[in-house]
Structure formats: structure tokens, C-alpha cells
């Protein structure tokens, strides 16, 4: 039995086990299982591999995307540049860290891009923002970072900045279930039909951030497809 799984804490919010279990059934992939491993501290990471010799690969979610890195034998260039790992493949006795968030986001965003989407506002500075910024660089899209503490604060967003940055990406958890009445404090009144609001949050499917953009005529997309694509990229890596 080939074993794969997810580490993080807690894991009640994760969709990964359901996704892979359904994938294995739907695609008639025999002899594979996917389990959640809610380890309360990253120090339990080495023992997890020792206790599960059939384990071939792991996905990594909060709060361990950065904390797991010292435990790995090798990092891909993307994982090094982003400074976060969300996929691990066992190669013999070696553990190799990858980042599939950048693949999932890039593949999800690219079909939506219009000629006006040359500059982006990236809301948030956490691990997800690192992957988003790496993908934007690959797509040759300039960006400005927005957070409560800077480098550009929400209060400093001018009408001119909104007009020159037609792509706005929320990498924060604002608006995620159950706090669905929250949204990044943007001057939404300066958005328009040329804007694209991309929210990494996927629960609820239509966040307040997205709704506020759409009220001004903007296009909007949630992070569910990104999630699917990064999961599929993990499967590609585990079978490479």
C-alpha cells in the first residue's frame, strides 16, 4: 500500500484527504491511501516517517510550511526562493521539499489575465503571499505588497494606485468561514470593470472581498481551482 498524507495542526479545515480519496476511487488508482497526520508540534515530524515506512509523500499546511524546512534533505529552487514547502517527496532515504502553491496559483491565474493586468496589489505578507509573488515574477507581473504594517499600508492606497494596479490578490484569511463578514479594508469604490479580484480563500465560494469587487463590475475568482491544481501538482511530483 502506497501511503500519502497531510501534516498540520489542526486539520479539521483541510480538503486534502477527501480530494485524494475521491481521486483514487474515480481514477481507479489502486493500492493508495491518503491520511491526515495532525501533529501538534513539528518536532514529531521525523518520528512520523519512522512509524509509517510506506509513506511516500506529504502535503504540508499551516503552521508548518516554513517550520518543516530544516528537517528536509533538499529543497527545489522554488521552495528555496519562496521560503515555504507544501509538498514533500521521499526519494530513497532523502526528503525533498517542493512548493506546489506557486504552480497551482500560476496555472489558475494565467487564463484570466488581460493586457491591463501588468501590475498587482498583493494583500498580505504570509507564506501564501510568498508563493503568489514568485508566480507573478514568472508571469512578468509587477506587484506592490499591502499589509497593515507595510511596506504599503491599506490606508496608503490611493485612487491612483487602485487604477494602476488592475489585479488585486487577497492572500490573507480575511473573509474565510466562519468570519465571512470580513474583507481587506480597500477603497473598493475605485475598482472597475478592468479589475480582477483573486481571493485565495475558497470557503465561502464568494467572499466579501470578491462581492465588493463584483459590485464595481470587476471580475472575481476564488482559490478553489488553485487548491485543486496544487493538489494535482503534488500527485505529479510523488509519481515523478
Model confidence pLDDT, tens digit, residues 182-198:
999 999 999 999 999 99
Sorted by sequence, the CB contacts under 8 Å of residue 36 that are 6+ apart come out as 5, 6, 11, 14, 16, 17
Measured in whole angstroms, how far is the alpha carbon of residue 152 from the centre of its chain? 22
Helix %, strand %, coil % of the chain (to 5):
35, 20, 40
Angstrom distance (rounded) from CA 90 to CA 112: 35
Q: Is 21 exposed, middle or buried (0-12, 13-18, 19+ CB in 10 A)?
A: middle
pTM for this prediction: 0.89
- CA–CA dist 217, 191 (Å, integer): 8
- The answer to whether 131 and 156 have CB atoms below 8 angstroms apart is no
Which pLDDT band, with edges at 50, 70 and 90, does 128 fall under? Answer: confident
Question: CA–CA separation, 79 vs 64, rounded Å?
Answer: 13
Answer with the residue of higher pLDDT: 141 or 84.
141
Percent of the chain surpassing pLDDT 70: 100
**Catalytic site residues?**
65
Separation of CA 65 from chain center: 11
In terms of Cβ atoms closer than 10 Å to its own Cβ (0-12, 13-18, 19+), residue 66 is middle
Q: Which residue in this structure is represented by grid cell 497526520?
A: 37
- Grid coordinates belonging to 140: 512578468
pLDDT at 38 over 80: yes
Query: For 189-238, what is each residue's pLDDT tens digit?
Result: 999 999 999 999 999 999 999 999 999 999 999 999 999 999 999 999 99
pLDDT computed for residue 206 by the predictor: 98
Amino acid at each position: 500500500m502506497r501511503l500519502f498524507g497531510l501534516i498540520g495542526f489542526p486539520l479539521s479545515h483541510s480538503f486534502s484527504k477527501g480530494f485524494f480519496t475521491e481521486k483514487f476511487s474515480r481514477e481507479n488508482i489502486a493500492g493508495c491511501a491518503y491520511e491526515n497526520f495532525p501533529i501538534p508540534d513539528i518536532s514529531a515530524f521525523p518520528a512520523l516517517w519512522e512509524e509509517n515506512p510506506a509513506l511516500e509523500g506529504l502535503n504540508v499546511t499551516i503552521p508548518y510550511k516554513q517550520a518543516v524546512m530544516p528537517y528536509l534533505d533538499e529543497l527545489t529552487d522554488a521552495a528555496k526562493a519562496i521560503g515555504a514547502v507544501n509538498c514533500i517527496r521521499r526519494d530513497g532515504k532523502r526528503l525533498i521539499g517542493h512548493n506546489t502553491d506557486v504552480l497551482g496559483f500560476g496555472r489558475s491565474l494565467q487564463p484570466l489575465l488581460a493586457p491591463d493586468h501588468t501590475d498587482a496589489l498583493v494583500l498580505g505578507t504570509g507564506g501564501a503571499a510568498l508563493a503568489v509573488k514568485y508566480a507573478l515574477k514568472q508571469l512578468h507581473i509587477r506587484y506592490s505588497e499591502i499589509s497593515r504594517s507595510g511596506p504599503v499600508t491599506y490606508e496608503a492606497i490611493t485612487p491612483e494606485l487602485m487604477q494602476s494596479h488592475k489585479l488585486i490578490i487577497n492572500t490573507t484569511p480575511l473573509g474565510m468561514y466562519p468570519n465571512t463578514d470580513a474583507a481587506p479594508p480597500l477603497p473598493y469604490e475605485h475598482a472597475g470593470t478592468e479589475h480582477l479580484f483573486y481571493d485565495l480563500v475558497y470557503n465561502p465560494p464568494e467572499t466579501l472581498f470578491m462581492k465588493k469587487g463584483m459590485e464595481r463590475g470587476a471580475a472575481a475568482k476564488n482559490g478553489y481551482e488553485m487548491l485543486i491544481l496544487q493538489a494535482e501538482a503534488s500527485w505529479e511530483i510523488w509519481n515523478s
